[in-house]
Amino acid sequence: MVNRLKLSSKYYDLDDYLFRCVTARFARQNTLNAFDFYAIVTWKSNRSINKVKHGLVEAKLTPTALMAKVSGCASDPDRMKELDKVRGIGVPIASAILTVCYPNRFTVLDYRAW
């Protein structure tokens, strides 16, 4: 029980987990695993998880493959375009993903921020 509590407490503060752990891991690996990718989607828009998942299946991509493509893009606009190509992601979710991965260069852009 104690190990399960330690593990789950790691995710209790999702902002902290994303911007401390996931940001650092992305900087080292230049990609995200599926858990971290969907943690960002959950953080931004929990109701969109299935749409994003179906969009990735339709594009024949895994979250890891998509994020490897994103990290290989030549420019920040190209990163946004690469994510936006996947049906279900769109600019708000793409900006959230990029904000976690590149916190000094992106911010979340949605109708609230606009």
Q: Is residue 30 part of a domain?
A: yes
Query: If the chain, 114 residues long, is cut into consecutive pieces of 10 residues, what is the mean pLDDT of each piece?
Result: 55 89 97 97 94 98 98 97 97 96 90 67
Looking at residue 85, what is its pLDDT?
Answer: 97
Neighbours of 89 (CB within 10 A): 25
Q: Is residue 32 part of a domain?
A: yes
Write the CA distances from 21 to 3, 13, 37, integer angstroms. 19, 11, 12
Looking at residue 1, what is its pLDDT?
Answer: 46
Contact yes or no for 95/108 (Cβ under 8 A)? yes
Domain span at residue 10 reads 2-101
Q: Is residue 25 part of a domain?
A: yes
Contact yes or no for 11/48 (Cβ under 8 A)? no
* Block residue for tokens 């969907």: 38
Could you tell me which of 49, 81, 76 has the C-alpha nearest to residue 63? 49
